[in-house]
Amino acid sequence: MIVALLSLLLSQQVYAPTEFTQVTGASLQARFDSGVAQGMRGTDDTFWVAYRFPVRAGVRVQTWENSTNISISSSTSSDGIEWIPNDNEIQRVGIFLLLSKSDGSVQRPRLINLNQNFRVHDRKVYWLGEPNAEESLTLLSKFVTDSRHQYASTFAHFMTLHDSANAAPLLLRIARDTTLNTNVRTAVINSLGREASRSMGAELEKLASDPSSDIQRSAVGAISRRPDDESIPALIKIAKDHPNANVRRSAIQYLGQKKDPRILDFFEQLLKKK
């Protein structure tokens, strides 16, 4: 038994980043297709396809075990204390996609901090290089809009981390597309709630009037995650005027989770009406 175990351990393959299989091609899509084809011809049941993408300023990714900790720029608590990252190291982040040999489907997506010292056990990594943000966004958007995909919200979140002014407008177009699966649109709307652009708050308010009640509620939830100066006035307006009673209740519930004098005034007005 011990001999068999030692034999198994010795047979395992370990790959450092310098030992990843380099995939060539004229575009990210071409390299992705080539990497998938190579992996499906290999002997492993699953394999990784990975690349580095341009990260927008302020994003910090740390990956340990099976979790990823992402911080974006500074953060301010409700009592006005602000924490500012003091790590000036250029952030290098890779998207790693674990694919199945049987059909090339994504089994798991991961972000990896490429500045960390890591190795990959048991599976080959097909490395697609460092495409520009637009190529990466185009590839990820295809994963997002595939209604069969269980990781739509993950890929939408990855898109918001890109250093590109086109990330939010592209996600917004997906969120507005009424031909898509509601779950996909909801996943994208949730990601837009975390998007830094102030214009996204106004766009989410428009989505709160979408014909689908599920999309309406998702938009309200996304609005609630916006900064208070944006979210509180929008939620109060929705709680007062939205034609859907369930959506009004959702807005009221989200307001109840915040601390602000404007919310107390609004609740007092509600009580006076009863």
H or E segment at 112? Answer: strand 106-113
How far apart, in Å, are the Cα atoms of 229 and each of 147, 216, 223, 234, 263? 34, 21, 11, 9, 12
Q: Phi and psi (nearest 5°) for 30?
A: -65, -40
As a whole number of angstroms, the distance between CA 124 and CA 177 comes to 37
State the DSSP code for 162: B
Average pLDDT of span 20-32: 97
pTM, rounded to two decimals: 0.77
Quote the pLDDT of residue 37: 96
Is pLDDT at 171 greater than 60 in this prediction? Answer: yes
Which of 77, 68, 135 is closest to 108 using CA atoms?
Answer: 68
Return the pLDDT at 76: 55
Q: Compute the mean pLDDT over every residue in the chain, rounded to the nearest whole number.
A: 84
Class (C level, CATH) for 133-274? mainly alpha
Strand partners, 83: 75
Q: Which residue is it, tokens 């006076």?
A: 272
Overall average pLDDT of the 94-100 stretch = 95
Smallest CA-to-CA distance from 175 within 154, 198, 145 is with 145
Give the per-residue pLDDT at 1.
56
When pLDDT is averaged across residues 61-73 and rounded to a whole number, the result is 62
Segments making up each domain of the chain, as ranges = 12-131, 133-274
Task: Return d(Cα 103, Cα 224) in angstroms, integer.
Answer: 39
